[in-house]
Amino acid sequence: LPDFYTFERKLICSHRDFDKFLAALSAGRKCAIVSGLNPSGMLHLGHKVVFDTCLYFQQKYRVPVFVPLSDDESYVAGKVPDLKSARENAFKLAKQLLAYGFDPKLTKFIIDSECPQIFLFAMELSKKLTLSEVKATFGYTDSTNPGLAFYTCVQAAHVLLPFKLGYEAVLVPIGPDEDAHLRLCRDIAARAGYPKPAVTHTSFLPRIDGRKMSKSKGNAIFLLEDEQTIRRKIRRAFSGGAPTAELHRKFGGDPEKDVACIYLTKLFLSDQQAAQLIADYRSGKLLSSDLKKMLTKYVLELSRKLKKNLENVELTNSLFSAFDLFNSN
């Protein structure tokens, strides 16, 4: 496994063919990453694992990252009121990713409304698929709109685009909830004569209240939120501490329940710092409020860096340039 925190800390917890991707990478073959974002939302702390993993490969191995920002899917699935706002948000997200650290020379954003070739490639791939497979995979019925059914093909087109452009191995880091899409996509790949894309699954970080972090539920920590909101959200985070400070000093806290502790140890601290923090929290030496203060510091640092970088980011055409599918094989 790569010597990177997302792997070492099991934030990436399972995979399909990741070993083959790594083998291709070390054999010097042409590799790419596809990592999509739904432009119905904003960057939040939960994105950090996938982004950092992408950046690890981009920085260490110069692997280009394709980022589908599916404005049309957001719309057709009813996540945004209209296409225009989905599209605007897609451009915003592109800027934010560059501010996060994605290398403009090694990053391609695929905004469907900019890129007719994606639809044509999707039409091509649709011939390798039937409606019944789409229905079985996603629980769609005959009452589903045909756009949503076709979207399966668009998504496959996003994932398989690098193969179409001549890449030899593709990695798609996803959350476990997207696995059904990718399984179908791997089947389509095989039928269309492409290699199967490799997949890694990210384990969910708990959200602020101790459950799954999700942008749509509004309980995530958004990286571009104002500092007051970030501070307030962390202050209210689910705690693993004892009911009072006195009891906490005496009996200690539960590092596996304390959200601030989990974020700090999984996302921000070194292994050594993390072990010390857990020990000190468990012993009662550190209060939950101490951990929240620490976490606030790290998150604000990340947020400030992002906000500052954002001022200097400019989108250029080459980041979105349409791919010439007609002259590639």
Which residues make up the interface to a second copy (CB under 8 A)? 72, 75-76, 78, 83-84, 87, 112-117, 119-120, 122-132, 134-135, 140-150, 152-153, 325-326
Q: Which is nearer to a second copy, 72 or 225 (CB)?
A: 72
| CB-nearer residue toward a second copy: 124 or 280 | 124
- CA dist 240 and 210 (Å) reads 10
Q: Which is nearer to a second copy, 144 or 289 (CB)?
A: 144
Shortest distance (Å) from residue 270 CB to a second copy = 46
Residue 296, sorted as left (phi over 0), alpha (psi -120 to 50) or beta, turns out to be: alpha
Shortest spacing between CB 71 and a second copy, in angstroms? 8
Shorter beta-carbon distance to a second copy: residue 132 or 316: 132
- Residue 10 Cβ vs a second copy, minimum distance, rounded to whole Å: 36
Task: Give bridge partners of residue 40 from the DSSP assignment.
Answer: none
Q: Which amino acid is located at 284 in the chain?
A: G
CA distances from 17 to 68, 129, 165, 187 (A): 21, 22, 21, 13
Q: How far is 36 from 109, CA to CA, in rounded Å?
A: 9
Measured CA to CA in angstroms, residue 198 lies from 18, 85, 127, 204 at distances of 5, 32, 22, 19
d(CA 1, CA 198): 14
Q: Give whichever of 62 and 84 is closer to a second copy, judged by the CB atom.
A: 84
Q: Please, what is the minimum distance in Å from the beta carbon of residue 179 to a second copy?
A: 20
- Alpha-carbon distance 326 to 286, whole Å? 61
Cβ 153 to a second copy shortest distance, Å: 6
